[in-house]
A = this chain, B = another copy of it.
Amino acid sequence: MDQVQIRYTNKKPSLTKPIFIEGLPGVGNVGKLAVEHLIEMINAKKFAEIYSKDFPPQVFINTDGTVKLVNNEFYYYKALKKNQRDLVLLTGDYQGLSAQGQYELVELILDTIESLGVKEMYTLGGYGLGHEIDDPQVLFAVTDKKMVKDIKKLGAVFRKNEPGGGIIGASGLLLGLGKLRSLQGVCFMGETPGYLVDPKSAKAVLTIISKITGVKVDLSQLEKKAKEIESIAQQLQEIESQAKDRPDELRYIG
């Protein structure tokens, strides 16, 4: 097995001007939630798996008792309507554990999508605010300056010096290394508290992706999940707030 390795589980699809959309685990799991939801809604087909020696040495156990080695997975979708675009999608269990593992994973992803004819990438992630947010906006960054105007029209926002630390991980690296190969790309970052998985932020990101791909997606399930998470978050806050209200003396009862 090479350091990173692709394994085709189905015939490599033949696609027309496909768009690539990536969503791996990260802050608030925004990107992963968004792409997984999209895959499910449009019934995209898996065609390949990526394994890496820089993923944890781990298998998950499926509900039928079988094991699944942790990986990343490629899916495709063939446009059904005229205004739609063929899609290549990537999601997965992990990003690379080390800097080197990240670079190697992203190089393999870029090799693969280039061989499928991809010229346009959209990478999805979360922008961790560290505080609650009612109506998450979607920030973005691009490979080419001339794309900025069009992306703003889709409802995404650009704020100078945000995120201040740039983008760390696959979503940024796909753009950074892709740019060196003359691929065009946009990274969409949904605002998120970042404490818990955030379907609300994923929904905000998918709303924009929907406009780009021409693929309408039912977002009601994400809304439902978002309400469940909000309820959990509220309970956690109440517990914490009760703990604070209890006077200090009580803590020292002998």
Residues 1-24 of A contacting B (Cβ, < 8 Å): 1, 3, 7
Residues of B within 8 A of A248 (CB): 254
CA distance A129 to B31 in the complex (A): 33
A254 (CB) vs chain B CBs: closest residue: B248
Residues of B within 8 A of A107 (CB): 1
A65 in contact with B99 (CB, 8 Å): no
Chain copies in complex: 4
A172-B58 contact given A65-B145, A66-B145, A187-B67, CB 8 Å threshold = yes
A172 in contact with B65 (CB, 8 Å): no
A209 within 8 A of B: no
Residues of B within 8 A of A66 (CB): 141-145
Query: A96, A141, A158 — which one has the most chain B CB atoms within 10 A of its CB?
Result: A141
Residues of B within 8 A of A173 (CB): 57-59, 69
Q: How far is the CB of A107 from chain B (nearest CB, A)?
A: 6
A58-B1 contact given A67-B175, A141-B65, A145-B66, CB 8 Å threshold = no
Residues of B within 8 A of A3 (CB): 100
Q: Helix, strand, loop or mixed for chain A's interface?
A: mixed
Residues 126-147 of A contacting B (Cβ, < 8 Å): 140-145
B65 in contact with A148 (CB, 8 Å): yes
B58 in contact with A168 (CB, 8 Å): yes
CA distance A6 to B144 in the complex (A): 22
**A residues touching B (Cβ–Cβ < 8 Å)?**
1, 3, 7, 51, 53-61, 63-70, 96-97, 99-100, 102-104, 106-107, 140-145, 148, 158, 160-163, 165-170, 172-173, 175-177, 179-180, 187, 247-249, 254
Identify 18 new A-B residue pairs, CB closer than 8 A, beyond the known A55-B99, A67-B175.
A1-B103, A3-B100, A56-B99, A57-B103, A57-B106, A57-B168, A57-B169, A57-B173, A59-B175, A64-B145, A65-B141, A65-B158, A66-B144, A67-B166, A67-B187, A69-B179, A70-B166, A70-B176
A sample of 19 cross-chain residue pairs with beta-carbon separation below 8 angstroms, ordered by A number, consists of A57-B99, A57-B168, A57-B169, A57-B172, A59-B141, A59-B175, A61-B161, A61-B167, A65-B142, A65-B145, A66-B143, A67-B172, A67-B179, A67-B187, A69-B177, A69-B180, A70-B166, A70-B176, A247-B254
